[in-house]
Structure 1
């Protein structure tokens, strides 16, 4: 009786063929085309989805739809339960061989699920962590388990940088902590330039944010001398505040003195050049590279696009910040993603002491804008309560937008000044 065995690895295929009759059987059995396809197969990419933080009792959907195969092979899925700290849990997956099984998070704890993705030749795996708490959908709750191990260490060889870029986020039981050097991990514009004479340098970043942020009914304005509004995952500061001003006559304007009556916007106006690059960022005199708007090169590296809601930063109050896209249904994670719009409008009636609009068009100054509730998707701090991929029960969160104010200039959670690290 003829006998044939085939190894799982395509590279060992020819060595693993055996015949009880003669050595020519393998070549007779497998065509040249099939053999070449096996040898040149590219393994698929497994993606178990984003880590989530949910309340006990929730039904949680896992999602491996981000998995892919460059050869366009049909993919097969096999889910399994890994380590869990919820020792008395009876949670079980609805199915194990589909792309998006679900389970009921019946007990508080951490659940780790693994998906094995196969193209019929090669198999790769990925894991997702589901953190289950006893919190409810109040806008607050712990952010434990979400981006608590984000770490980046690379050398930025851009002509205007040539420095290492370091960012390390960790979590304790109560805090989220960042140690970084403030150097971007992506391509930047030319610095110094005609509008910004400063050079990017390393700056010590050490901040501590609450792991369980608390929402308030107050608005805390941050940025500039008031302190960092937050930090991107790459450890670069967010500061969307204005950086220059004009007097009432408009005869005296400074790009460095922000004490006059009319505060000049860094973005969205064409009359003043602050030396902003394509990441909506520039450099302070102390060498700190910081963002006034969405950091396009960084969010591109994270894969932000129109069908993906992506967490890019943490605000000083501990709430998350997302890039550009949010669910059209505030509490529906299956609703279409749309570009979020800020709720600020140009004022219809301007102050009689404002410098001439002929010289300084509307939108030049911060005082040209007013918050109009309901005119956009977001509140005065560019935030809202709703579901996100990481928080399917809902959480208060902020957005970077293509509309004013681009990145928020205030937070609505508790900010512990004593926890804010030194802004070198």
Structure 2
């Protein structure tokens, strides 16, 4: 667990005047990693939906010893959190909600409704990513940019070393999973979950092409409750506030508390 080093958010710009500063804490036991986050971004907020940005109360706990399941778990039309970034921002899939009907379950990247950092706010005023854009395009070293709920790490993809295996076969404006089909390729082609095994360890990679981060769960995702476990409602239909689950104390075997940033 000590090998997981998270960035420092205390010197970042934050979302701007009038917004809470990002707050993230991380603790590790021998078997699990827990992150608490207020869900605030570390860069200036640019509205891309009618939804505002407000601080949240997120808690995620994932295993540090993930294992692959014999059959991957589909995320097709699964709305809501699939993982979290090292900056404490929820990671969603490559799918939007059922409203409006013209773009129902469409690709938010293709439909141009994300900001420059490939995120936007949802009906619960929570900012989330549908893709991850890193700023070190010329870097040679890979680094962890997040974790899926099954515990497998999500890595940056410097210089596009790995590529998605999904091929476009239709219009992703709506029903995006009908618009792409996965095809096997060479050693640089990621599997249907958008991951591969490196040095004996499975990991997901971010890609410029669909599904962008996670294409399916290679392992068993953790059950998340409270604000962090809310499903995403159809866009444009805000839901009532959900009572936040109590944040549990860090385990006595906790190694460190850190703060986090993708830039």
Give the structure-2-normalised TM-score: 0.75
Residues 14 and 43 in structure 2, CA contact (< 8 A), matched pair in contact too:
no
1:343 aligns with 165
Secondary structure in 2 aligned to 1:165?
coil
How has the CA–CA distance of structure 1 residues 340 and 169 changed in structure 2, closer, same or farther, with 3 Å as cutoff?
A: same
CA displacement, residues 307-365 of structure 1 (integer Å, 9 cap, x when unaligned): 1212111111111111123xxxxxxxxxxx75321000122xx6xxxxxxxxxxx3434
2:184 aligns with 373
Residues 175 and 210 in structure 1, CA contact (< 8 A), matched pair in contact too:
yes
| Equivalent-residue separation in structure 2 for 1:180 and 1:217 (angstroms) | 32
What's the offset of the Cα at 1:386?
Answer: 0.8
Give the alignment's Cα RMSD to 1 decimal: 2.7
| Equivalent-residue separation in structure 2 for 1:148 and 1:339 (angstroms) | 23
How has the CA–CA distance of structure 1 residues 241 and 405 changed in structure 2, closer, same or farther, with 3 Å as cutoff?
A: closer
1:33 aligns with none
2:106 aligns with 264
What's the offset of the Cα at 1:304?
Answer: 5.8
Higher relative contact order (CA 8 A, sep 6+): 2
1:288 aligns with 126
CA displacement, residues 117-152 of structure 1 (integer Å, 9 cap, x when unaligned): xxxxxxxxxxxxxxxxxxxxxxxxxxx333166664
CA displacement, residues 354-377 of structure 1 (integer Å, 9 cap, x when unaligned): xxxxxxxx3434111111122761
Q: Which has the higher strand share?
A: 1
Residues 383 and 398 in structure 1, CA contact (< 8 A), matched pair in contact too:
yes
| Equivalent-residue separation in structure 1 for 2:119 and 2:18 (angstroms) | 14
Answer with 306-315 or 200-209: which moved more.
306-315
Q: Does 1:182 align with 2:35?
A: no
Residues matched between the structures, number: 225
Once the two structures are superposed, the pairs formed by residues 137-148 of structure 1 within 5 Å of their partners are 144-147=1-4
Larger Rg: 1
Q: Does 1:319 align with 2:152?
A: yes
Q: Does 1:399 align with 2:212?
A: no
CA displacement, residues 171-216 of structure 1 (integer Å, 9 cap, x when unaligned): 112211011111111234x22x4xx111111111111101111111
Give the ranges of 4+ consecutive aligned residues of structure 1 lying more than 3 Å apart after TM superposition: 148-161, 221-227, 303-306
How has the CA–CA distance of structure 1 residues 280 and 161 changed in structure 2, closer, same or farther, with 3 Å as cutoff?
A: farther
1:220 aligns with 73
2:238 aligns with none
How has the CA–CA distance of structure 1 residues 164 and 377 changed in structure 2, closer, same or farther, with 3 Å as cutoff?
A: same
1:29 aligns with none
How has the CA–CA distance of structure 1 residues 223 and 177 changed in structure 2, closer, same or farther, with 3 Å as cutoff?
A: farther
| Equivalent-residue separation in structure 2 for 1:225 and 1:383 (angstroms) | 18
Secondary structure in 2 aligned to 1:317?
coil
What's the offset of the Cα at 1:154?
Answer: 5.5
Structure 2 unmatched runs, 5+: 231-263
How has the CA–CA distance of structure 1 residues 364 and 164 changed in structure 2, closer, same or farther, with 3 Å as cutoff?
A: same
